[in-house]
Amino acid sequence: MSKRNVSVLLILAILLILVLAACSTPVDKPQVPPPAPEQEEAAPAEEEAAAAEEETAPAEEPTPELVGDSLRGGLLYDKWWTPLGLDAPEEDHPLWAAQDTNTRSGADTWRCKECHGWDYKGVDGAYGDGSHMTGFMGVIQMAGGDANEVLEALLGATNPDHDFSAAMDEQALVDIALFISGELMDYAEVIDAEKAAIGGDLTVGEELYQDSCADCHGPEGAAIDFKANALKTETISAIANGNPWEFFHKMRFGQPTEADMPPALDAGWSLEEQTAVLAYAQTLPNTNPATHGGLLYDKFWKAMGMDEPAGDQPLWATQSTNERSGADTWRCKECHGWDYQGANGAYSSGSHFTGFVGSIGAATMSAEEIASWLDGTANADHDFSAYFDEAATEMMVAFLQTNAVDMPQYINADKTVNGDAARGQEFYQAGCARCHGDDGKGIAFGDESDPEYLGDLALGNPWETLHKAANGQPAEHMPGGLNLGWSWQDLADALAYIQTLGE
């Protein structure tokens, strides 16, 4: 028998003793001892239980003695395994088989929210229909109640299949119990039937949002695309409008996959202030077509979640200097360059040389003219219509007209950058360091045996670095600097700084 099982048995035994004690003494409610932080330390808990037994009967209901962090409990209501540093469960939760309307499986079935809802109302709330419906009850009725009762439910007292003691440590369960009893609120107070914020001062919301959220999500909310798919963009605005309960919960308690996201309750925001931020986030756009177009300029199939094109692009055969083949020959950048200058720029020599024109001419073209290049009207061999629908075409047009800048004004032919590295360091720290590290070595690109880091890329290919720093990286949650509200000079300064991180 494992230590864990032994300690669970011990706790059950203690509970039994307490119940018996409650029958023979005037204590009207069994008092559960605070669980020991480590499973192995059942002994002190036993002592405390004995002490509790000796206590004279209090005049009122004993106050719950659970000690923990209710805000952390809120974070654990979601994907608890991430902040706990555990592996995600693989099997379905034992209770999952009791329903068949929600067809998710595996780890998702272990999230409290998947069964009880972001609004804590289960089948009586937003999960009363739709793909998340399970028919399971909510937990909001436990709000303001005794945390010990919640803890018992989490230890399987009401239903043995609802026993989470093997899934996580006891302190985690205590924190969750404190969250359920102490922090739940009825979101109907702040969110109406149409999902709109009830009230919420937009000026207050904007100020709080710009101060506390914009560093990561961007001033317009477009910096992080949770889906990382140009066609199915899901930014903070999509959550605020589509699932305001999830927005509220995550705003209050944080995001399990992002330790640095500050919980509003930790920051001491009032309910009015929280509502104001929801109201403001609901006004933000869900997309920035121009930076999305920048993602499509690269591996557009990856950015849109499509299969990669088969065979060579038809125009490829009209050149023989660049020896790549297959999907690479479909990337706009492969023919037109990261600097948009084609044979007039960085690809005027070397293994990428094709002799093709740049795409920079599109900066002064009308949307119709640009579209005629994408659908093959301008040149039948330059036909991307199998991949670019209307929405994707719009993005590419927006990119070519506004974000495909004249790079030589920032990057010289010898790859040096016209930027202020000292100033750029601040931008890098604010927008890039949390993933790429203070030294640029947080993420390795390319070959595992011969890793390349951001600083090396910035020295070797400053044009690619600037393009990606501005627009983002296809299919990654990486924010482009333009969505962080940076100007082109800010980007050039950041690039100058990133070069100092290279070898």
Q: Which of residues 343-382 bind ligand HEC (CB under 6 A)?
A: 356-357, 359, 361-362, 370, 373, 379, 382
Which residue(s) pair with 191 in the sheet? 197
Q: Which is nearer to ligand HEC, 63 or 429 (CB)?
A: 429
Question: Per CB under 6 A, does 215 bind ligand HEC?
Answer: yes
Asked if 194 contacts 268 with a C-beta cutoff of 8 angstroms, the reply is no
Tokens representing residue 14 in the block: 């203690």
What single DSSP character describes residue 403?
A: I
Residue with structure tokens 């700084």? 497
Question: Per CB under 6 A, does 219 bind ligand HEC?
Answer: no
Residue 293 CB, nearest approach to ligand HEC (Å): 8
Residue 219 CB, nearest approach to ligand HEC (Å): 12
CB under 8 Å, gap of 24 or more: what pairs does 190-197 form? 190/248, 190/271, 190/274, 190/275, 190/278, 191/244, 191/245, 191/248, 191/278, 195/241, 195/242, 195/244, 196/244, 196/279, 196/282, 197/244, 197/275, 197/276, 197/278, 197/279, 197/282
Q: Which is nearer to ligand HEC, 17 or 357 (CB)?
A: 357
Residue 226 CB, nearest approach to ligand HEC (Å): 4
Cα distances from 23 to residues 30, 53, 60, 158, in angstroms, run 9, 12, 17, 20
For residues 408 and 417, give the distance between their C-alpha atoms in angstroms, rounded to a whole number: 9
Question: Per CB under 6 A, does 217 bind ligand HEC?
Answer: yes
Please count the residues of the chain: 503
Binding mask 296-325 for ligand HEC (x = CB under 6 A): -----------------x-xx---------
Tokens representing residue 377 in the block: 């009207």
For residues 49 and 34, give the distance between their C-alpha atoms in angstroms, rounded to a whole number: 9
For residues 447 and 332, give the distance between their C-alpha atoms in angstroms, rounded to a whole number: 24
Only one of the segments 27-35, 57-65, 247-255, 413-421 lies at the binding site for ligand HEC (rule: CB under 6 A); that segment is 247-255
| Range 130-159, binding ligand HEC (CB under 6 A) | 136-137, 139, 141-142, 150, 153-154, 158-159
Question: Per CB under 6 A, does 72 bind ligand HEC?
Answer: no
| Range 178-197, binding ligand HEC (CB under 6 A) | 180
| Range 376-435, binding ligand HEC (CB under 6 A) | 379, 382, 384, 396, 431-432, 434-435
Residue 418 CB, nearest approach to ligand HEC (Å): 17
Binding mask 453-492 for ligand HEC (x = CB under 6 A): -x--x-------x--xx---x--xxxx-x-----------
Question: Per CB under 6 A, does 260 bind ligand HEC?
Answer: yes
| Planar angle of CA 153, 158, 161, nearest 5 degrees | 85
Tokens representing residue 298 in the block: 């690269």
For residues 244 and 372, give the distance between their C-alpha atoms in angstroms, rounded to a whole number: 41
Q: Which is nearer to ligand HEC, 421 or 443 (CB)?
A: 443
Q: Which is nearer to ligand HEC, 29 or 162 (CB)?
A: 162
Residue 43 CB, nearest approach to ligand HEC (Å): 27
Question: Per CB under 6 A, does 257 bind ligand HEC?
Answer: yes
| Range 161-180, binding ligand HEC (CB under 6 A) | 162, 164, 176, 180
Tokens representing residue 362 in the block: 């599109």
Q: Which is nearer to ligand HEC, 52 or 164 (CB)?
A: 164
Q: Which is nearer to ligand HEC, 260 or 323 (CB)?
A: 260
Rg (CA), the chain: 28
135: left (phi over 0), alpha (psi -120 to 50) or beta: left
Residue 115 CB, nearest approach to ligand HEC (Å): 3
Could you give the maximum distance between any two Cα atoms of the chain, in Å?
95
Q: Which is nearer to ligand HEC, 46 or 207 (CB)?
A: 207
Interacting residue with ligand HEC among 18, 290, 335, 459 (CB under 6 A): 335
The residue number with the shortest CB distance to ligand HEC is 361
Give the distance from CA 277 to its chain's centroid: 18
Question: Per CB under 6 A, does 502 bind ligand HEC?
Answer: no
What single DSSP character describes residue 261?
A: S
| Range 97-126, binding ligand HEC (CB under 6 A) | 109-110, 112, 114-116
| Range 265-294, binding ligand HEC (CB under 6 A) | 277
What are the strands, taking DSSP E only, across 395-494?
none
Q: Which is nearer to ligand HEC, 105 or 416 (CB)?
A: 105
Q: Which is nearer to ligand HEC, 43 or 166 (CB)?
A: 166
